[in-house]
């Protein structure tokens, strides 16, 4: 995953070098940011934080519109039909952009033909958690326990096709264990069964798992980040403990617009978004949600969407996960 901090001076210089026609005048009126998830959730909170920061940077109101449904696809379908003038944007998710296209058989959108990637915004690693009553105290002991009783252990997810469903299937296939997937309608719905010991493990977001860990009802065996995470200093990664090369499960969000947006407007928005998300204040705000800033160029963001799509497609094929309509 790309993470780099771009100096404000360099960004300003890049924007000044752009053609004055579109970049200098934009934005001349309020900008709409469509979020494909309900108000009050982590994605919405990040989106509203970004909107406030962009309003200050760009000198125009950023109006947030929640359009939940179909794992963010309803928002995508509405935004892709708008004019590519930079006045209608969306805060997209990894589930919408990198999993839906490879998990669903009849996807009715093409990310790279119908949208313009602008900038990544935030990401968060999952924790591999087990009930506090679980006999397993490490990832290795969990794997060895599963091997001794194939088909007996279970793992929870936020639903079929969710990032933590595919992460669980990846962990299962690469570890050579036989554990049963139990889908729920969201992470919060799985928590009660996890703490009660009715489910043996799950990949959960930090914000969902931490209250239970603090209450002594759940324990984390590892973090599914690409490397050591400042969100959980000292916690081993799933990759290092399991030996699964490259293992990570880090959902993310990023800003996109309709296809064929002017490059100078994309560059101006990317610079502003990067500045907003590169501050210590942004880091502190996102940490309360178990997230971290995720910044980079528009090209890097597009490459990340594509690489994630390729990776999850490989997981689906290797784990023999059946695609759905």
Do 192 and 283 fall into the same domain? Answer: no
| pTM, full prediction | 0.88
pLDDT in tens, 272-299: 999 999 999 999 999 999 999 999 999 9
Backbone angles phi, psi at 320, to 5 degrees: 55, 45
Q: Is residue 20, in this structure, part of any structural domain at all?
A: no
Q: Give ∠ CA 176-324-76 in degrees, rounded to 5.
A: 115
pLDDT in tens, 190-236: 999 999 999 999 999 999 999 999 999 999 999 999 999 999 999 99
- Please state, in angstroms and rounded to a whole number, the distance separating the CA atoms of residues 170 and 308: 14
Do 119 and 130 fall into the same domain? Answer: no
Do 264 and 289 fall into the same domain? Answer: yes
Percent of the chain at pLDDT exceeding 90: 84
pLDDT band at 21 (very low <50, low <70, confident <90, very high): low
Do 238 and 266 fall into the same domain? Answer: no
Domain containing 232 equals 126-242
Q: Domain ends where: 197, 217, 242?
A: 242
DSSP character string of 210-234:
HHHHHTTSEEEEEE-SSS--TTSTT
Q: Is residue 279, in this structure, part of any structural domain at all?
A: yes
Q: Is residue 171, in this structure, part of any structural domain at all?
A: yes
Q: Is residue 325, in this structure, part of any structural domain at all?
A: no
Do 170 and 208 fall into the same domain? Answer: yes
Do 117 and 259 fall into the same domain? Answer: yes
| Closest to 258 in 3D by CA, of 141, 54, 109 | 109
Do 131 and 204 fall into the same domain? Answer: yes
Name the domain count of the chain.
Answer: 2
pLDDT in tens, 225-240: 999 999 999 999 999 9
Helix (H, G, I), strand (E, B) or coil at 50: helix
Do 134 and 219 fall into the same domain? Answer: yes
Question: How far is CA 19 from each of CA 16, 24, 25, 269, rounded to the nearest angstrom?
Answer: 8, 8, 10, 14
Q: Domain ends where: 242, 260, 276?
A: 242
Q: Is residue 185, in this structure, part of any structural domain at all?
A: yes
- Please state, in angstroms and rounded to a whole number, the distance separating the CA atoms of residues 52 and 122: 15
Q: Is residue 6, in this structure, part of any structural domain at all?
A: no
pLDDT in tens, 86-144: 999 999 999 999 999 999 888 889 999 999 999 999 999 999 999 999 999 999 999 99
Q: Domain ends where: 193, 212, 242?
A: 242
Do 138 and 229 fall into the same domain? Answer: yes
What CATH number is attached to the domain comprising 136? 3.40.190.10
- Please state, in angstroms and rounded to a whole number, the distance separating the CA atoms of residues 229 and 245: 17
Q: Is residue 284, in this structure, part of any structural domain at all?
A: yes
| Closest to 218 in 3D by CA, of 299, 282, 304, 128 | 128
Q: Is residue 26, in this structure, part of any structural domain at all?
A: no
pLDDT in tens, 151-161: 999 999 999 99
Do 76 and 37 fall into the same domain? Answer: yes
Do 157 and 130 fall into the same domain? Answer: yes
């Amino acid at each position: 995953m790309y993470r780099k901090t771009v100096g404000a001076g360099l960004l300003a210089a890049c924007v000044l070098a752009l053609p004055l026609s579109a970049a200098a005048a934009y934005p001349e009126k309020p900008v709409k940011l469509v979020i494909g998830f309900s108000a009050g959730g982590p994605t919405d909170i990040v989106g509203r934080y970004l909107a406030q920061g962009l309003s200050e940077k760009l000198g125009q109101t950023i109006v947030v519109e929640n359009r939940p449904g179909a794992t963010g696809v309803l928002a995508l379908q509405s935004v892709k039909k708008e004019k590519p003038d930079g006045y209608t944007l969306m805060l997209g998710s990894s589930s919408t952009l990198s999993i839906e296209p490879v998990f669903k058989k009849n996807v009715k959108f093409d990310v790279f033909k119908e949208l313009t990637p602008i900038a990544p915004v935030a990401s968060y690693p999952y924790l591999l958690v087990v009930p506090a009553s679980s006999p397993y105290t490490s990832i290795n002991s969990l794997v060895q326990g599963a091997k001794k009783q194939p088909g007996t252990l279970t793992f929870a997810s936020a639903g079929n096709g969710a990032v933590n469903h595919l992460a669980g299937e990846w962990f299962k296939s690469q570890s050579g264990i036989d554990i049963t997937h139990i889908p729920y309608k969201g992470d919060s719905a799985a928590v009660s069964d996890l703490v009660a010991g009715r489910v043996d493990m799950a990949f959960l977001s930090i914000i969902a798992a931490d209250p239970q860990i603090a209450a002594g009802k759940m324990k984390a065996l590892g973090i599914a980040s690409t490397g050591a995470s400042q969100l959980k200093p000292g916690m081993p990664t799933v990759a290092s403990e399991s030996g699964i090369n490259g293992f990570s499960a880090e959902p993310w969000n990023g800003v996109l617009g309709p296809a064929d947006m002017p490059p100078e407007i994309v560059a101006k928005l990317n610079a502003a978004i990067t500045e907003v998300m590169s501050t210590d204040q942004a880091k502190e705000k996102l940490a309360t949600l178990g997230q971290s800033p995720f910044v980079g160029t528009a090209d890097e963001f597009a490459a990340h969407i594509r690489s994630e799509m390729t990776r999850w497609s490989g997981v689906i094929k290797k784990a023999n996960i059946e695609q759905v309509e």
